[in-house]
Amino acid sequence: MRISSYIAIFVVFSCRLCTINSQSLVPALLIFGDSVVDAGNNNYLETIVKANFPPYGRDFVNHKPTGRFCNGKLASDFTAENLGFTSYPPAYLSKNATGKNLLIGANFASASSGYYDETAKLYNTIPLSKQLEFYKDYQKKLVGVAGKSNASSIISGSVYLISSGSSDFVQNYYINPLLYKVYTTDQFSDILLQSYTKFIQELYKLGARKIGVTTLPPLGCVPTVITIFGEDSNECVKKVNKAAISFNNKLNETSQKLQSKLSGLNLVVLDIYQPLYDLVTKPSDNGFFESRKACCGTGLVETSILCNAESPGTCKNATEYVFWDGFHPSEAANKIISDDLLAAGISLIS
């Protein structure tokens, strides 16, 4: 077991002890991004990118699909638990996003969205710019529920989690000649980071001070990406991983600059590339049996509507698989990733 894993376990254990006789470690958790953290907002959109049907959610609470692109809990769900919350921030478009439920935060994420607004437009989902508008609306509702003073404390003391960028590359750039024939991956990364910079600046203006942003995962190791771009190889697609690593390096640099410019901002880059890469390349070391194929269907391409109750060959035990569907980690993998996230983001709650 890696040293970082020991640290993660210690941090998680310590944080949970802190919440035994008290409330959560932070007032609320506000979540923005794509399918990795979408808790069901796409259920309420006219889009094919949904996960509100079996076998999604089969290992979640009550064994029912919620719109999460997973067999069970997302990494952000585990993060909420690690922070001491007894329930999860509601999907903002759901009927649960009202009244006192908003006191613990809200989830604005939308599958197939990204830093690049055009990505969301391709799939009729919610771009980050629109998620920000929903957050402004959330603040108004929060004042109505908690009062102006308490709402201000919640806004400044909460943790903001952002997970975006994967769809920009996999579901737009690499399949869109209008992009990949015009921009290099580095140039496209720069476009995304301009949007990221603007988004962080807007969040900051709205009162956010504790922000965690995840890196891109090893996109070249995602089952669907290997199947489509791997040229009959079962290995991770190097050029796609290279693009992810380059973006992540720039994300770090950009975040450091933002933190130095914006007084009082604690902006932490949370690495999910290495933890997931380790799970993919050394599955048995982490208690997994399969990392090339996903659990759902053939495990090669199925996601969203292609991963359904009729998908032949879906595995019985998803805990043995790193990936649940062709794009998304299983609950078991999300648990490991979330513990690493907490260890990396400890400064956000200290």
User: Does residue 17 register a pLDDT over 80?
Assistant: no
Residue 169: left if φ>0, alpha if ψ -120 to 50, beta else—which one?
alpha
User: Does residue 18 register a pLDDT over 80?
Assistant: no
**Mean pLDDT across 105-113:** 98
Q: Where are the domains of the chain?
A: 3-348
User: H or E element: which one contains 278?
Assistant: helix 273-281
| In the chain, % of residues over pLDDT 90 | 89
- CATH architecture entry for 3-348: 3-Layer(aba) Sandwich (3.40)
The rounded mean pLDDT for the chain is 93
**Per-residue model confidence (pLDDT) at position 343:** 86
User: Does residue 313 register a pLDDT over 70?
Assistant: yes
**Per-residue model confidence (pLDDT) at position 122:** 97
Contact 270, 255 (CB under 8 A): no
**Mean pLDDT across 250-269:** 98
Contact 108, 31 (CB under 8 A): yes
Alpha carbon distance 207, 205 (integer Å):
5
User: Does residue 82 register a pLDDT over 90?
Assistant: yes
User: Does residue 175 register a pLDDT over 60?
Assistant: yes
**Per-residue model confidence (pLDDT) at position 232:** 80
**pLDDT digit string (tens) for 2-13?**
444 444 444 444
Q: What is the DSSP letter of 252?
A: H
User: Does residue 130 register a pLDDT over 80?
Assistant: yes
Q: Find, among 296, 297, 280, 292, the residue nearest to 337 by Cα.
A: 280
Known catalytic residues are 35, 325, 328
| Chain centre distance of CA 83 | 16
Neighbouring C-alpha atoms within 13 Å toward the C-beta of 211 = 26
Q: What is the pTM of this model?
A: 0.93
User: H or E element: which one contains 180?
Assistant: helix 177-180
Q: In what order do the strands lie in the sheet with 29-33?
A: 105-107, 29-33, 159-163, 210-214, 266-270
Q: What is the DSSP string of 198-228?
A: HHHHHHHHTT--EEEEEPP--GGGSHHHHHH
Q: Find, among 312, 309, 310, 331, the residue nearest to 322 by Cα.
A: 331
Q: What is the DSSP letter of 234?
A: -
Q: Would you place residue 233 in the very low, low, confident or very high pLDDT band (cuts 50, 70, 90)? A: confident
